[in-house]
Amino acid sequence: MMTESARSALLNALGEHVAFDAPMTRQTSLRIGGPADALATPTSRPELAAVLAACQAHGLRHTVVGAGFNCLVADEGIDGVVISLKKFRGLEERPGPSIYAEAGISHSAITRFCLDRAFSGMEFAAGIPGTVGGWIMMNAGIGVRELKDVTLEIGIVTPGEPAEKRIPRERLDFHYRELRGLPAGAVVVSARFAVEASSRDAIKGEVDRLLARRSATQPLDVPSCGSVFRNPEGDFAGRLIEAAGLRGLRVGGAEISRVHANFIANVGGASAADVLAVIERAQAGVREDCGVELKTEVHLLGRTP
Ligand SMILES: Cc1cc2nc3c(=O)[nH]c(=O)nc-3n(C[C@H](O)[C@H](O)[C@H](O)COP(=O)(O)OP(=O)(O)OC[C@H]3O[C@@H](n4cnc5c(N)ncnc54)[C@H](O)[C@@H]3O)c2cc1C
């Protein structure tokens, strides 16, 4: 529950760029989730700093979302303030060559930008849906290449320190599908990526090849959050789920995809509870079948029932 003074502080900081009791179904690719107490969409660093200051002053928790392609939001919603950086849309060429992108820039905008300028290096990420902020926090990638391989530096803003701080790649602690060690409550506002001059045809050919492979192997026509489980060392979560005979397992509107067993699709009206039930049944089934403990890649956000 948000107090009147907290609401006023957020309205003072953001005016029309804050909404209260905001449905999270529109902020996540699974199209699931109860309301956030407040959804803040700052348009600048001073506005972002003001939101963080209001949260600190009123004891409100803040949660950042990118495009929500890797999030499962609880049916009960999210306490405090959800911050979306979708209005952070700077995208520029920098020396190196390199590209500077603000946190709200989407995967497709980066791909278009690189194609227009014939910059190679980011092709691997063309089909990884999301924003620069989510990419960095997830160290998103495919088998051969991850964000850590192209990131030169990131910019963050932290509660209590409104000026953007730059962190060079040497000090970024990337791991499989995570970036560790940022200060508590840090918000990624920008990143710079290394690219190199190449041939537009070669870049387009690689992007098209990777997108075609995705279309052939992933259920892209239904709401999902991509891979639900992290791949265990030396194996694939999807292979283990399939081997345990769980493909097609359904609870309510949530179903283990028949196209790719590491995806859970919202096939119609799924709740977060449905998805969580499928996750637990997949973990139990794989544990029983081969003794492997599957860990979730999807981030669970929000109130626990
Ligand atoms: C069809 C499909 C295919 C996918 N394929 C892949 C794949 O091949 N490889 C892969 O790695 N992933 C894949 N994913 C997962 C997803 O695309 C990535 O995890 C992506 O990085 C999510 O970006 P996002 O902006 O949507 O982040 P979100 O899902 O919004 O957020 C992810 C996490 O980052 C945090 N966060 C987001 N932005 C910020 C910020 N600015 N500052 C601080 N914290 C922040 C959030 O709180 C959350 O914990 C796939 C998903 C789908 C739906």
Selection from 44, 45, 43, 59 nearest residue 9 by Cα: 59
What is the 79 CA–ligand 1 centroid distance (Å)?
A: 21
In whole angstroms, give the CA distance from residue 255 to residue 48: 38
* Residue linked to tokens 């520029």: 92
Selection from 215, 160, 18, 190 nearest residue 98 by Cα: 190
Q: What is the pLDDT of residue 303?
A: 87
Q: Hey, how many other C-beta atoms are within 10 angstroms of the C-beta on 304? A: 6
What is the 255 CA–ligand 1 centroid distance (Å)?
A: 21
**Token digits for 260?**
């790719």
Protein residue closest via CA to atom 4 of ligand 1? 226
One digit per residue, the tens of pLDDT, for the chain of length 305 reads 789 999 999 999 999 999 999 999 999 999 999 999 999 999 999 999 999 999 999 999 999 999 999 999 999 999 999 999 999 999 999 999 999 999 999 999 999 999 999 999 999 999 999 999 999 999 999 988 999 999 999 999 999 898 999 999 999 999 999 999 999 999 999 999 999 999 999 999 999 999 999 999 999 999 999 999 999 999 999 999 999 999 999 999 999 999 999 999 999 999 999 999 999 999 999 999 999 999 999 999 998 76
What is the 305 CA–ligand 1 centroid distance (Å)?
A: 24
Phi and psi at 161, nearest 5°, equal -130, 85
| DSSP assignments along 250-296, one per residue | EETTEEE-SS-TTBEEE-SS--HHHHHHHHHHHHHHHHHHH-----B
Q: What is the pLDDT of residue 1?
A: 75
What is the 59 CA–ligand 1 centroid distance (Å)?
A: 27
Selection from 260, 249, 257, 265 nearest residue 216 by Cα: 260
Q: Of all atoms in ligand 1, which is nearest to the CA of residue 225?
A: 53
55, 89, 138, 139: residue to mutate for ligand 1 pocket, most atoms within 8 A of CB: 138
Instruction: Give the SS3 label for residue 298.
Output: coil
What is the 82 CA–ligand 1 centroid distance (Å)?
A: 15
65, 108, 264: residue to mutate for ligand 1 pocket, most atoms within 8 A of CB: 65
Q: What is the pLDDT of residue 217?
A: 95
Q: Of all atoms in ligand 1, which is nearest to the CA of residue 187?
A: 42
In whole angstroms, give the CA distance from residue 289 to residue 227: 20
Q: Of all atoms in ligand 1, which is nearest to the CA of residue 64?
A: 47
Selection from 41, 48, 79, 54 nearest residue 156 by Cα: 48
Number of H helices, E strands in the chain: 7, 20
Pairing of strands 35-40, 78-84: parallel
pTM: predicted TM-score of the whole model, two decimal places: 0.96
Q: Hey, CA dihedral for 69, 75, 81, 87, is it positive or negative?
A: positive
Selection from 255, 260, 271 nearest residue 305 by Cα: 271
Q: Of all atoms in ligand 1, which is nearest to the CA of residue 70?
A: 29
Lining ligand 1 with CB less than 6 A are 29, 63-71, 85, 103, 128-131, 133-135, 137-138, 140-142, 177, 187-188, 218, 220, 224-226, 299
Q: What is the pLDDT of residue 143?
A: 85
**Token digits for 116?**
């227009």
Q: Of all atoms in ligand 1, which is nearest to the CA of residue 69?
A: 26
List residues with catalytic annotation: 177, 227, 297
Protein residue closest via CA to atom 9 of ligand 1? 141
For the chain, domains (ranges, CATH) are 4-84 (3.30.43.10), 91-216 (3.30.465.10), 237-301 (3.90.78.10)
Q: Hey, how many other C-beta atoms are within 10 angstroms of the C-beta on 225? A: 24
What is the 137 CA–ligand 1 centroid distance (Å)?
A: 8
